[in-house]
Amino acid sequence: MSDYQSIITEVDGAVGILTLNKAYRHNAFDEELITEITVGLLELEADENVRAVVLSSTGKSFCAGADLNWMRAAAGYSPEENLRDAHRLAELLSTLNELSKPTIARVQGPAYGGGVGLIAACDIAVGSYDAVFALSEVKLGIVPAVISPYVLAAIGERYSRRYMLTAERFSAAEAYRIGLLHEIVPGDEQLDEAIGEILDSLLGNGPKAQAECKSLIRVVAGQPIDEQTIAETAQRITRVRASSEGQEGLAAFLEKRRPNWLAE
């Protein structure tokens, strides 16, 4: 793995783990952290041994949003520099969202602003009871623009209106209720147990089929069920069913054996 200053990447069997490692700054975004997360994700994406990716953090906070010193410096940026800065975060979120491998956010503490965007861009999110969330940008006179597509997809327009406009903090229970978290658990030990169970389920499935599912969801979400969507979905199942993995999965089921992606 590469030598990073703000993150840790490791591979445990078929699981890639990317850990935000700036606990002393509550894992708040700055240019270095954004760049390293992006590069780390691409590194895990390219590793053929990695089947799923867990996004985690050290310390008490998952991610406190933007680093205050970084924001203070950004206040003096030219329009071109500001745009370039925004594009870096947009690239990170797009990379996370479009990773071909399943992603799980392990949320052990508070997540604010862009930290909520990270969670929303993951496929699955599990948090501890004491995690707290806020879309706090309007308190600073700015907007959660870059994270908005992912947050809207996760919690919908109605809850986005409330929490983007009020900047209220909300609990893990509320995050679960509105769809930001899929599961909430008492503490770190239970967090790891819950994620372990999800990983067991993920690793039992066809890796190429999972990548195809992620692509399918991105294409179909929000689209009307019209002739174009029907044709698109029919073409996709036809192509995947005829693929080597599709043929192997069906054959293994019929022959009552393990598919080759589960071979010892």
User: Does residue 112 sit in helix, strand or coil?
Assistant: strand
Average pLDDT of the chain is: 93
The answer to whether residue 137 is catalytic is yes
Dihedral Cα 164, 168, 171, 172, nearest 10 deg: 20
Nearest-angstrom CA–CA distance, 213 and 100: 9
Dist CA 118 CA 53 (whole Å): 13
Across the range 103-117, mean pLDDT stands at 97
Which DSSP state fits 262? G
CA distance 47 to 29: 25
Residue 264 has pLDDT above 90, yes or no: no
Give the pLDDT of residue 1.
Answer: 60
In this prediction, residues 96-104 reach a mean pLDDT of: 97
State whether CATH 1.10.12.10 applies to domain 207-262. yes
SS3 221: coil
What value does the mean pLDDT take over residues 205-215? 94
For residue 98, the one-letter residue type is: E
What's the pLDDT at 236? Answer: 92
Here the tokens at position 9 are 């990447």
CA gap 240, 247 in Å, rounded: 9
Per-residue confidence (pLDDT) for residue 70, from 0 to 100: 73
Report the distance separating Cα 217 and Cα 95, nearest Å: 16
Q: What are phi and psi of 18, to 5 degrees?
A: -115, 120
Task: Give the model's pLDDT for residue 263.
Answer: 62
Q: What is the pLDDT of residues 9-64, one digit of tens each?
A: 999 999 999 999 999 999 999 999 999 999 999 999 999 999 999 999 999 999 99
Top-level class of domain 7-203: alpha beta
pTM score of the predicted model:
0.94
Residue 208: name the closest of 259, 166, 139, 264 by CA: 259
List of residues 6+ apart from 130 with CB closer than 8 A: 109, 172
Least reliable range by pLDDT among 110-114, 189-193, 196-200, 219-223: 219-223
Distances (CA, A) of 261 to 41, 54, 56, 124, 249: 23, 20, 26, 22, 9
Choose the catalytic residue: 137, 157, 174, 189.
137
Domain ranges of the chain: 7-203, 207-262
Distances (CA, A) of 43 to 4, 101, 182: 12, 12, 26
Judge whether residue 89 has pLDDT over 70.
Answer: yes
Whether the CB-CB separation of 104 and 79 falls below 8 Å is answered with no
Amino acid 84: pLDDT: 85
